[in-house]
Structure 1
Amino acid sequence: MMMRAVVGLWVLSAVICVGRGHHHLGHDDDKTVQDTVADGSANSVSLVNEANQEFSFRLYRQLAAHADSQGKNIFFSPASVSTALAALSVGAQGETHRQLFSGLAFNSSLLTQTDVDQAFQRFLQRANNTSQEDASEGTAVFVDNGFKPKPEFLQTLKQSYFTDGFSVDFSQATESADTINKYVEEKTNGKIDQLLESLDPNTVMCLISYIYYKGKWATQFDPKLTKQDDFNVDENTKVSVDMMNLEDRLHTYHDRELNTMVLQLPFNSSYSMLLMLPDVMATLENAISPNHVTKWLKAMTRPRRHEVYIPKFSIKTSYKLNDVLSEMGMTDMFGGRANLRGISEEQGLAVSKVVHKATLDVDETGAEAAASTAILIGRTSDLPGDVLKFNRPFMVIITERNTEKILFLGKIINPTI
């Protein structure tokens, strides 16, 4: 019953799309057009992928500089945030759309909204076709049963972002939040169990993206070698951690420019965790870019034997992204100047809140990570050496080696908090 209203609109929209006229082409013309479209599509996917990588580090730096993040671990999913914002851009117009594209690092002179939508379609298809991994990504939209979105908006979400659609009564704020939280909890294997703590009853739409990844190390750590050891939070603070130990042939790279040692720990798949141990954290986090990740992965051609020490840890993070995204230039969507007329004919719609939660568990067998982003829309009226010991603050990336897609990114200051 809950899905009927939204799904009905998707069906209507599909009929509208199918009903458009077609111009008949000869076989040669047809092949030429197909080849041209394929080349253009591949180029667009590459441009969007590069933009997503750029956005990852822009958002990281913004979070790291924020007062609320001082002295805290940072961990989030750039892929989840960019997917949610890209889906929102489907319904944005004018200056609001321009700000979203610019904030997401999309080059609007080279990319159209359709290019972006098709690229995310490819990304989500690839993520969910990785049968060797326990991994999933997706989106959902929860629409108030008294609100009428445009059929073409819902159709694009369904077709390009594989969005699940639900109709809810947002005037029942507690029940609606519970419904959304249970959906996200199920999709993230119980890791994100309370994405939304509260809901404004004036909410008319909630756009969700989620990501879940669980991988086993290609070479697992022996639990018998895990011992209590010190982790140096700063010059004056030490905490006791369970320090895992592994001796194996591993890929490493010493980045002299950043005075950082980089270790690649592969999962038994195409995914890897990159651990970066800098001499000075600020030097790394202020300069790190997608080019550095590319350079590191290309330079790691010969594995060498290393003895590695990494803390076993489990962390959870939570962010309200309104201020952070505004500081990245995405201002209009939050106020009276928001132009979300691609979502609905209704005037006065704006984003009221963007929240993001993430978790990361690292132990002897592997790593498990999850994240979810919620965009709430309402009415405006309303780290050289053979021994590598990660015993001081370090950064972490989970990436897909072939595409260099950054699934998760963060900084571990204190593994015990």
Structure 2
Amino acid sequence: MAAHGHGSLLSKLQRMMKATLLLCLLVSMLHPPIHSLTDELKATDPQEPHPHEGDPLESCQRIVPSNTDFAFQFYRQVTTQEPDKNVFFSPVSISTAFALLALGSRGTSKAQVLQGLAFNLTNTQEEEIHDGFHHLLLLLNRPDSQVQLNMGNTLFMDKHLKPLKTFLKDIKKLYKGKVVSSNFQNSTEAKKEINDHINNKTHGNINQILQDLSPNALLVIVNYIYFKAYWENPFNIKGTHKDYFHVNAKTSVEVKMMTRDGFYKTYSDRKLSCEVVQIPYKGDIVALFILPNEGKIKQLEDALTKDIVSTWEKSLQRRRMEVYLPKLSISGIYDLKKMFMNLGVTDVFSDPADLSGITGKPDVKVSKATHKALLKIHENGTEAAAVTSTDFLPHSVPPVIKFNRPFLLWIVDQYTQSILFMGKVVNPTEK
């Protein structure tokens, strides 16, 4: 009886034009000083020993320039579609999930995905790309007591879909991937299982990435990144005050403005009419805040390339500044199918899709791809902790930089030179 039911279900699946693959990406990022970081680190998965295979950093460097190019391409897509909206996403998360998709793709489908991720396939071999992501994941998930950064991939697969053994082995080895067998015939149950998994991996910060699940979905890929860190020099809570943020010429909103007088690495880019301030976290991660002059934000966005980033890196100089930064909580949710189709990645989302590297059969396509990201910025720490890290300052009035109009921000892992998160704050009060 059971065998007969199983057979008819399979034939029903085979009759479908294309089963749908739902690709779901998300990220969560925050740093609330609620409980001790060490407790959380003890609770996370134990680290696997790193295999000794070549130099991980060298392997990473082969993919980081393309990842950076992709980050700017994606940023432009988002800002063109929603020019006056807050932006926040994790380029490294999106790149990793789509590289994993490429691992299961074949032919044109594969080539389009990798080219969409800004890889030049004449210069870079596919093997080098996957090897680069493998080492990038190892280095980003480094067990550093100062920063909590966990990134990984989970595949939820209908229990009647039989993945190829080589694919399973590769996603585990290269992408820290985990495969979960789910009952997609019961879409409510499957949706709950996926949402619960994401909620758990992002420590309760993103709980409803999937609003609905197509009845013919058979496979969901989830990439998550969770980041929590503390400023190297916290802002003193006593200094936080009400102030105005000028969204545009007509609109101002009231914000809680943090302030700190201290030494920062800064650079004034005359050519691009903007100020760059680097604020370090504890550990090897920094936030770059970029304040364009009035009316110059579009000019800056159009000019952004990886060469400009390296110019800024080289030009930053440590000087005393009084920095004003709004406390904020912003999020972004993006339809990646639309974004990637604009970047020329069309096959995997349509009937010519060849994802036979996953199941051995070319009858699967991607029906949906979603990315959700969340950012919270605040003083990071108790009043006592904030007071202990005051810089020794001479008695003079320092120059002031006030982030009280739209600005850009990037969070960069300095060890691998990877942009973990990228955003634009147009209105810090917009939910």
Normalised-by-shorter TM-score class: 0.7 to 0.9
Alignment-derived partner of residue 6 in structure 1 = none
- Could you tell me which runs of 5 or more consecutive residues in structure 1 were left unpaired when the two chains were aligned: 1-34, 367-384
Report 1:11-410 matches (<5 A).
38=54, 44-66=59-81, 69-132=82-145, 133-279=147-293, 280-300=296-316, 302-365=317-380, 386-410=399-423
Residues 358 and 249 of structure 1, relative CA distance in 2, 3 Å threshold: same
Deviation, structure 1 residue 356:
0.4
Amino acid at match of 1:239: V
Query: SS at the partner of 1:61?
Result: helix
Alignment-derived partner of residue 389 in structure 2 = none
Separation (CA, whole Å) in 2 of partners of 1:239 and 1:137: 35
Query: SS at the partner of 2:62?
Result: helix
Query: SS at the partner of 1:157?
Result: helix
**Cα distance per residue 1:197-219 (max 9 Å; x no partner):** 11112111111111111111111
Alignment-derived partner of residue 412 in structure 1 = 425
Separation (CA, whole Å) in 1 of partners of 2:218 and 2:79: 32
Deviation, structure 1 residue 403:
2.3
Separation (CA, whole Å) in 1 of partners of 2:364 and 2:233: 51
Runs of 4+ in 1 over 6 A off after TM superposition: none
Deviation, structure 1 residue 364:
0.5
Residues 42 and 305 of structure 1, relative CA distance in 2, 3 Å threshold: closer
Deviation, structure 1 residue 312:
0.2
Amino acid at match of 1:400: D
Amino acid at match of 1:364: E
Separation (CA, whole Å) in 2 of partners of 1:248 and 1:138: 36
Separation (CA, whole Å) in 1 of partners of 2:144 and 2:415: 16
Separation (CA, whole Å) in 1 of partners of 2:127 and 2:143: 25
8 Å Cα contact 2:269/2:276 also seen in 1: yes
Deviation, structure 1 residue 70:
3.6
Deviation, structure 1 residue 226:
0.6
Give the aligned CA root-mean-square deviation in angstroms: 1.7
Separation (CA, whole Å) in 1 of partners of 2:129 and 2:186: 35
Alignment-derived partner of residue 382 in structure 1 = none
Amino acid at match of 2:307: N
Separation (CA, whole Å) in 2 of partners of 1:116 and 1:196: 29
8 Å Cα contact 2:144/2:283 also seen in 1: no
Alignment-derived partner of residue 375 in structure 1 = none
Alignment-derived partner of residue 32 in structure 2 = none
Query: SS at the partner of 2:401?
Result: strand
Amino acid at match of 2:322: E
**Cα distance per residue 1:381-401 (max 9 Å; x no partner):** xxxx92100000000000012
Matched-pair identity in % = 37
**Cα distance per residue 1:193-243 (max 9 Å; x no partner):** 111111112111111111111111111101111111110000000000001
Deviation, structure 1 residue 43:
5.5
Amino acid at match of 2:239: L
- Could you tell me which runs of 5 or more consecutive residues in structure 2 were left unpaired when the two chains were aligned: 1-51, 382-397
8 Å Cα contact 1:71/1:413 also seen in 2: yes
Query: SS at the partner of 2:405?
Result: coil
Separation (CA, whole Å) in 1 of partners of 2:80 and 2:307: 22
Separation (CA, whole Å) in 2 of partners of 1:262 and 1:255: 8
8 Å Cα contact 1:44/1:111 also seen in 2: no
Amino acid at match of 2:171: L
Separation (CA, whole Å) in 2 of partners of 1:111 and 1:343: 23
Which stretch has the larger CA shift, 103-112 or 79-88?
103-112
Separation (CA, whole Å) in 1 of partners of 2:197 and 2:126: 28
Query: SS at the partner of 1:343?
Result: helix
**What's the TM-score once normalised by structure 2's chain length?**
0.81
Which stretch has the larger CA shift, 131-140 or 78-87?
131-140
Deviation, structure 1 residue 187:
1.1
Query: SS at the partner of 1:234?
Result: coil
Separation (CA, whole Å) in 2 of partners of 1:360 and 1:189: 14
Separation (CA, whole Å) in 2 of partners of 1:403 and 1:131: 14
Separation (CA, whole Å) in 1 of partners of 2:235 and 2:248: 27
Separation (CA, whole Å) in 2 of partners of 1:223 and 1:38: 46
Separation (CA, whole Å) in 1 of partners of 2:304 and 2:83: 19
Deviation, structure 1 residue 44:
4.9
Query: SS at the partner of 2:254?
Result: strand
Deviation, structure 1 residue 257:
2.1
Query: SS at the partner of 2:66?
Result: helix
Which stretch has the larger CA shift, 336-345 or 157-166?
336-345
Higher relative contact order (CA 8 A, sep 6+): 2
Separation (CA, whole Å) in 2 of partners of 1:293 and 1:215: 23
Separation (CA, whole Å) in 2 of partners of 1:163 and 1:277: 38
**What's the TM-score once normalised by structure 1's chain length?**
0.83
8 Å Cα contact 1:252/1:303 also seen in 2: yes
Alignment-derived partner of residue 9 in structure 2 = none
Deviation, structure 1 residue 287:
1.2
Separation (CA, whole Å) in 2 of partners of 1:357 and 1:191: 11
Alignment-derived partner of residue 5 in structure 1 = none
